[in-house]
Amino acid sequence: MRRRAIAVLGVLALSTAAAGCGVSGPSEAGAERGPQAAARPGTGHDAFYDYPDQALVAKAAPGEILRSQPIPAPASSLLGSAVSRAERIMYRTADQHGKPVAATGFLLLPKKAPRNEDGWPLISWAHGTTGLGPMCAPSRTESLGGMTPLLVKWLQEGFAVVAADYPGLGPEGQVHGFLHLRAEGLSVAHAALAARNAGGRAVSEKWFAVGLSQGGHAALGAGEQAAEAKGMRFLGTAAFAPSSHLSTALRDAMDKQMNGGSLEGLRGLLAYIGAGAHVFDPETFPYDALLSPEVAKEMARPAVHNLCMDQIDAYLSLFAPEETAGTLKPDWYKNSPALREWLDSLNPAQRTSAGPVLVLQGEDDKVVPPEGTRKLVGELCAKENAVDSKTYPGVDHVGVMLAGLRDLGTWMRGRLENTRPSSVCPAGSLPTQGK
C-alpha cells in the first residue's frame, strides 16, 4: 500500500528523476515581466531559457526577476484545480564562487485566498537530484519534476510554492555544480525573494526552506544563508534525508568497490559528484581526480552532461561497464587531500541557521545512510541550532517524503503560530528562532 502511495506522489529523490521539456502556451496566470519569446515551431527551442546578457545579470539585485513565462494549467488538470497563477521565473542569484548568475525555477500561487492580510506563507522547495544539464531542470518538465501531487497538496493547504532549479539547470549553455552548498542554498533563498518580488503582497514575507535528498542539503544551505532573502522572515528548514559527509560516503563506496562490491544504482550520483568538483575548479579537480579513467572520459563529454538521472546509469553501464571500468579512482582518498577538503566544505552545518531545523530520515535508506544523518544532527546542534529530528523504521530514501508529511505539517504550523520549537539538542544549545 505504501509503495502505491509513493508512486502516486511521484516523489523525486536522489535515485529518481524526471527529464524533458515542459509545454509552453497561453495561460490565465498573471502578466509576464521582462523580455519574452515563444518556443520556435518545429525546433523545441524555448527562448525563455536563453541565458541573458551577463552584464544585465550583474546589475540585477539578488532575487530580481529577469524573465517570466506562464505555465499552462488548465482548470481540468490537477495543477489547474489548485493554482491561481503558475509561471516559470528567471532570477538573479550567485554561484559557488559568489559570481552573479541567472537561475530558473517556477512559482505557484494558490486559488484559495490567504488566511490573513500577511498573504500566503511561502515554501521554497528544493528538489532531489535530476542531473547536470539544462534540460534536467524541473521547471522544464511538464510534471514539474514529478512533484505535482505534492505541490498541489501544499497549494490546497494555503501555501505559495517557489522552486529553484539550482544554478546550471535550466538556462542554455550551463552545467550544474552538483551539491555546491553555497550556490544551491543561495538559489533557494533568492527564489523566496523572487517569489515575493513576483507575487507582491499576496506572498507573505514568512517562508520555509523544504527539500529532499540533494534538496535537503540545499535547504539546509538556504537556512544558513536566509539573510540573503532581504526583507523576508525565515521560519525554518525542513530537510528530508539530506546529503552530507560526502568524503566519508565516497571513501566507503571506494572500499566497497575495492572489495568487489557493486556500486550499481549509485554510479550516476558518484559521477555527478566528480563532475561537480570539476565545475568548481577544472584545473585542481580534473574528472579523474575522483573517477576511474573510463568513467572520467565519459563524464568529460559535453553531450553526457545532458543525460539526466533516468539515463546516466544506463549510459555508464553501456560505455564504462562497472566490471571493467570501475567507478572511483582507487587512490583518490589517500592522494587527493585538496579534494577531501573541498568535499568536507560542502557539508551542511557550516554555520548557525537563521531558523529552527527539522530533519527527517528513513531508517532503511540505502542512499543517504541514517548514521550520517544522525552525525549531521549532532553537528547542527553544535552550531547552536534548535533541531527536531524524526526517523521512520522500514522507510527508504524515496518513502521518507510521504512518511514525514504529517510531521512536516505539524512543525510548519507551529512555526506559523510562533510556538517555541522542540529540539533534540542538549540543553546547553541555544535554539534559533525564525527571523
Q: What is the pLDDT of residues 331-372, one digit of tens each?
A: 999 999 999 999 999 999 999 999 999 999 999 999 999 999
Length of the chain: 435
User: Which stretch of 3-17, 81-95, 237-251, 395-409 has the lowest confidence by average pLDDT?
Assistant: 3-17
| For residue 47, pLDDT beyond 90 | yes
| For residue 8, pLDDT beyond 90 | no
The pLDDT of residue 426 is: 87
Per-residue pLDDT averaged across 3-19, rounded?
A: 36
Tens digit of pLDDT for each residue in 366-375? 999 999 999 9
Pairing label, strands 120-126, 357-362 = unpaired
| For residue 308, pLDDT beyond 90 | yes
The pLDDT of residue 26 is: 26
Mean pLDDT of the chain: 89
In whole angstroms, what is the distance from residue 257 CA to residue 184 CA? 30
Per-residue pLDDT averaged across 314-326, rounded?
A: 96
The pLDDT of residue 30 is: 30
Superfamily of segment(s) 2-244+349-416: Alpha/Beta hydrolase fold, catalytic domain (3.40.50.1820)
Q: Using alpha carbons, select from 40, 94, 87 the residue that is nearest to residue 64.
A: 94
Tens digit of pLDDT for each residue in 209-262? 999 999 999 999 999 999 999 999 999 999 999 999 999 999 999 999 999 999
15's grid cell: 535515485
Q: Using alpha carbons, select from 154, 163, 146 the residue that is nearest to residue 209.
A: 163
Per-residue pLDDT averaged across 63-87, rounded?
A: 95
Concatenating the DSSP letter of every residue in 390-423 gives: EEETT--TTTHHHHTHHHHHHHHHHHHTTPPPP-
Per-residue pLDDT averaged across 389-416, rounded?
A: 97
Q: 1: pLDDT confidence band, cut at 50, 70 and 90? A: very low
Q: 125: pLDDT confidence band, cut at 50, 70 and 90? A: very high
The pLDDT of residue 433 is: 44
The pLDDT of residue 44 is: 58
Contact 217, 244 (CB under 8 A): yes
The pLDDT of residue 45 is: 76
Q: With the C-alpha atoms ordered 296, 301, 307, 313, is the resulting torsion angle positive or negative?
A: negative
Q: Which residues contact 428 (CB under 8 A, 6 or more apart)?
A: none
| For residue 161, pLDDT beyond 60 | yes
Torsion of CA 149, 154, 159, 161, to 10 degrees: -40
The pLDDT of residue 435 is: 39
For the chain, the structural domain boundaries read 2-244+349-416, 246-345
Tell me the β-bridge partners of 126.
164, 211
Per-residue pLDDT averaged across 63-84, rounded?
A: 95
Q: 16: pLDDT confidence band, cut at 50, 70 and 90? A: very low
